[in-house]
Structures are given as C-alpha cells and as structure tokens.
Amino acid sequence: MSYLYLAFAIVSEVIGTSALKASEQFSRPVPSLISLVSFASAFYFLSLTLRTMPVGIAYAIWSGVGIVLISLIALVLFGQKLDLPAVIGMGLIVAGVVVINAFSKSVAH
C-alpha cells in the first residue's frame, strides 16, 4: 500500500509543479489553486507512505520518478528540451532508484 500512496504523492507533486509553471508566479488564480491543492495532497500521501517506508527511500523514489515525469511534461506542454548531460544525469538518478528498490533491505522503524 505504501507504493500506492507514494505513486499518488508523486503524481500530485508533478501536477502541482506543472500548475506552478502555468501559474506565472501565482498571478493566475486557477493554476495557483491547483498547485497549492496538489502540493498539499502530495505531502499528505507522502506522510502516509512514511508510515511503512524509510524517509530516505521514499524521497529517493519520489524525486527520481518526479524528475523524469516533470521533465517529460515540460517537454510536451512547455516545449522545454534537455541536453545530453541532463539526460545522462537523470539516467543516473533513475539507476539509483532502481538499485535502491532492487537491493535495499531498509525498513521504517
């Protein structure tokens, strides 16, 4: 169940970040509200995740998956492109998340 909560947290954070870009520094009310509600939802679901998953592991997954998703959304919605070093760096982050999930035996206390 913790991975489901974490998935909701990640999706909420990605929606919030996308809306934050669209809010134009909180000058547009609807994207600003979407951003605030999404970030609140993200932290709520992250708090549920942390009941059973160590914070370091949860945050590594959150940030790794979030970086990739928001980069894809930025490309599709905002036309922002990444250069090769950025893509390689993200690949290393994803590889780290895979290693954590495949091999870590950490548990929450």
Give tens-digit pLDDT for 16-36.
999 998 999 999 999 999 999
Angle, alpha carbons 19-4-30 (nearest 5°)? 15
pTM for the full predicted model: 0.85
Percent of the chain with pLDDT over 70: 97
Give residue for tokens 């998956």.
Answer: 65
Distance CA 108, CA 100 (A): 14
Distance CA 97, CA 29 (A): 35
Average pLDDT, the chain: 92
**46, 16 contact by CB (below 8 A):** no
**DSSP string covering 29-86:** HHHHHHHHHHHHHHHHHHHHHTTTS-HHHHHHHHHHHHHHHHHHHHHHHH-----HHH
Report the pLDDT value the prediction gives residue 87, as an integer from 0 to 100.
Answer: 92
Name the 3-class secondary structure at 1: coil
Report the pLDDT value the prediction gives residue 108, as an integer from 0 to 100.
Answer: 56
